[in-house]
Amino acid sequence: MNLSKVSIRNFRRLENVAIDIEDKETIFVGPNNSGKTTATAVFRCFLGGRDFAIHDFSVARSADFERFAASGNALDLPEISLDLWFTIDPESIAFGRVFTLLPKLSDYTKVGFRLSYGIEDPKKLHEQYLAAYPVGENGKRAKTLLQYLAADSNLGRHSVVRYASLEENAAEGAEIEVIPTPLEPNEGKRLVKHLIRVEFIDAQRNINDDDNSRSNRLSTAFASYYRKNLEQAEYAVEAHKVIDENNRQLTEHYQVQFKPLFDLIKGLGVPSVNDRELRIVSSLSPETALRGSTDLLYVDPGREHELPELYNGLGFKNLIFMAIQARHFHSQWLLTAENRPLCLLIFIEEPEVHLHAQVQQTFIANIWEVINQSAKAAQLPHMVPQLLVTTHSSHVLDAVDFEKVRYFQRCHLINEASNGGIRNASDVKSLRAFQPEADVLDDVPISPADSLAFLKRYLRLTHCDLFFADGAVLVEGAVEKLLMPSMIEKSANRLSSTYLTVLEVGGAYAHRFDGLLAFLRIPYLVITDIDSVEPTGYPSTCRADVPGARTSNASLKKLCGKNTVSDLVTMLATEKVDNAKDRCVAFQTDVLVEEGGVQVMMRPRTLEEAIAYENFSLLRSGDISIGTAIPDTLPEAYQQIYDRIRSDNFKKTAFAMSLLAGKQTWSVPTYISEGLGWLETRFCGPAPGVGVPGTTSEASA
């Protein structure tokens, strides 16, 4: 039996989300403050013993409490709820247990169960609140209902967890309706224990050699594992034999060492001749000996040189600690003799802490090896838990299947306008549900399967960090990627406070990311080259101002719907922005170069040309060099720059490095500056006194 889906409502950022759960591991990813830890916390509150707080209710529900304070209508009060959907084999023993508890099942492969948290007696709460804070002379109460519930454990005293079984009513042509059937509290609690056990390996693992409240000694972790898994009789007998012999020897030692002290005490008349004599004996047990009288050492076998656990690296300790915890939780589940919960969930938060990249990549496989060994040792190979891993590590993500990723994305509250303000809610996207559309480019069909395979390969090889970014910049190649930090600093420095990922995809592939980025709702900027080619015949390169020149850039043809250079350069700024897909496309535009009273309109074909034309004075003075002399006249200079940059001898990366290493102040090409301006406005809002055409007014959290 496995947990297959959870639905969470009104809990912190998760106003109303559904999350599909994989049979083995499910990976929660997303930017900071996108709700990954919140999804863990709701399980901790309902199933892990943590108390709810008033601030666990979604911010959208604050008004509901104040409405209830005014009306006293119980229907105004919100509830936090967690729906658990399990898949089950009708032929299994587990089905018999669940069927007994939920006799109204109509789908014999699915079990639904709801836990909800809310006010137990609304009338009593209303009366006590009004009595505690009557209306003052100013017509207001001294505290709001939210403030009242936040103080003195008032929320806990007035609230209760309710339980219900769930069924789906899937009427043809209508949305699936979930129908709850309330359960008695005792029955609900019993059902929870039968269905699921949840364990947590927390993100805040302060692993040290100190026995204080904020640290976890590895030796203590080993002791806890030993103590709680000592039910295996053969190991217990062997351990007690060893300890009993040590107790006998220690007792004899104590009798010798303490004899002078006991003789002195006897001289004081205590104990008297009628009393029993005093004796100190050793009473170690295997578990207490390991917990309190044992140290974990790191030993060099060749030298027999020992170091205490303090002297080993934090990453090594962290990995060992997580392995011990996972093995312990699994073993305890297997050792549950009666009414073992049918499902075990283990949440692992941020396993990458202190681990280097290679260990992060193998972490999931290593944890499964530990768990599988545990299951094999217990002769229950089919009894394995489900892992839910929250991470910010692209290396952890790189090692799991694309379909197992759940992407958490910040969004606006359901009934809140989406054109501005802080994003107080989150949505969750299952990458298993992502399917690219079929496409045709240059008369070549691209199947959804081919597109998906390309994205999987690309992300696995290069850019898993896409899932942790606020936004993305898709660029042509290495030069754009090298220069991007400097260009952001020069033309859109407010973007420095956002988390951007720069994807080097080339002009032929940027459009292949369109579906995925739209699915994930990640704002993105495409910076690409106009790539002019001859208007007829074989598509050989040509200067961008050749009449009738076409573009060979597949992404421009797909995203802008234009095939000729003239159509592209005449596009308005607003036409380069797709608000529905949160996308802007930036490519070269005409540059007016003026020298000695002469003006020439130069049309760049590539980034390097654009830099040369827009920094022509620096090129002329030699502060910027393309490795060739610049002719005296502008028309000749135009042709020479084009010929030099398109030649095989021109080293684009070296040119970019010279810009970064030089002391000259060069200008960012206008088309890139405008594109970055759109992205900056998208995240940071309009700069004072500045407007960027084609932007939305929406600002990110």
Q: β-strand 425-430 against 577-578: which pairing, if any?
A: unpaired
Mean pLDDT calculated for residue range 112-138 = 92
- The CB density around residue 108, as the number of other CB atoms within 10 Å, is 13
Q: Is the pLDDT of residue 569 over 70?
A: yes
- DSSP for 470-525, written as a single string: SEEEEESSHHHHHHHHHHHHHH-GGGGGS-EEEEE--TTTGGGGHHHHHHHT--EE
The predicted pLDDT at position 482 comes to 92
The predicted pLDDT at position 394 comes to 83
- DSSP for 307-365, written as a single string: EEGGGS-HHHHHHHHHHHHHHHHHHHHHT--SS--SEEEEEEE-TTTT--HHHHHHHHH
The predicted pLDDT at position 213 comes to 41
Residues 310, 301: Cα–Cα separation, whole Å: 19
User: Is the Cα dihedral 558, 559, 561, 562 positive or negative?
Assistant: negative
CA R_g for the chain: 34
The predicted pLDDT at position 222 comes to 60
Mean pLDDT calculated for residue range 487-502 = 91
CB 534 within 8 A of CB 525: no
Mean pLDDT calculated for residue range 152-165 = 93
The predicted pLDDT at position 441 comes to 65
Quick one: tokens of 261? Answer: 């002290």
Residues 364, 370: Cα–Cα separation, whole Å: 10
- The CB density around residue 157, as the number of other CB atoms within 10 Å, is 12
Q: Which residue has the higher pLDDT, 234 or 460?
A: 460
3-state secondary structure of 160: strand
The predicted pLDDT at position 491 comes to 92
The predicted pLDDT at position 695 comes to 45
Q: 8-22, 132-146, 171-185, 206-220: which has the highest mean pLDDT?
A: 8-22
- Helix (H), strand (E) at residue 286: helix 286-292
- Helix (H), strand (E) at residue 560: helix 554-560
Residues 183, 453: Cα–Cα separation, whole Å: 47
Number of helical (H) and strand (E) elements in the chain, helices listed first = 23, 25
Q: Is the pLDDT of residue 616 over 50?
A: yes
User: Which of 21-30, 55-64, 577-586, 678-687 has the lowest average pLDDT?
Assistant: 678-687
Residues 22, 640: Cα–Cα separation, whole Å: 59
Q: In what order do the strands lie in the sheet with 80-87?
A: 14-20, 2-11, 80-87, 110-119, 159-169, 177-183
Residue the block writes with tokens 């590590």: 393
Chain mean pLDDT for the chain = 83
pLDDT in tens, 397-441: 888 888 999 999 888 888 776 656 678 889 999 989 888 887 766
Mean pLDDT calculated for residue range 673-683 = 93
Q: Is the pLDDT of residue 699 over 60?
A: no
DSSP secondary-structure letter at 141?
Answer: -
pTM of the predicted structure, to 2 decimals: 0.80
Q: Is 519 exposed, middle or buried (0-12, 13-18, 19+ CB in 10 A)?
A: middle
Residues 677, 496: Cα–Cα separation, whole Å: 12
CA 383 from centroid of its chain's CA atoms: 28
Query: 3-state secondary structure string, 14-69?
Result: EEEEEEECCCCEEEEECCCCCCHHHHHHHHHHHHCCCCCCHHHECHHHHHHHHHHH
User: Is the Cα dihedral 191, 194, 195, 201 positive or negative?
Assistant: positive
CA 95 from centroid of its chain's CA atoms: 34
**pLDDT band (50, 70, 90) for residue 96:** low
Q: Is the pLDDT of residue 696 over 50?
A: no
Q: Which residue has the higher pLDDT, 338 or 519?
A: 519
Q: Is the pLDDT of residue 324 over 50?
A: yes
Residue the block writes with tokens 């911010």: 59
Quick one: tokens of 295? Answer: 């140290």
The predicted pLDDT at position 173 comes to 61
Residue type, 95: F
**pLDDT band (50, 70, 90) for residue 271:** very low
Q: Quick check: bond before 271 cis, omega within 30? A: yes
Q: Is the pLDDT of residue 677 over 50?
A: yes
**pLDDT band (50, 70, 90) for residue 544:** very high
The predicted pLDDT at position 697 comes to 38
Quick one: tokens of 101? Answer: 């508890």
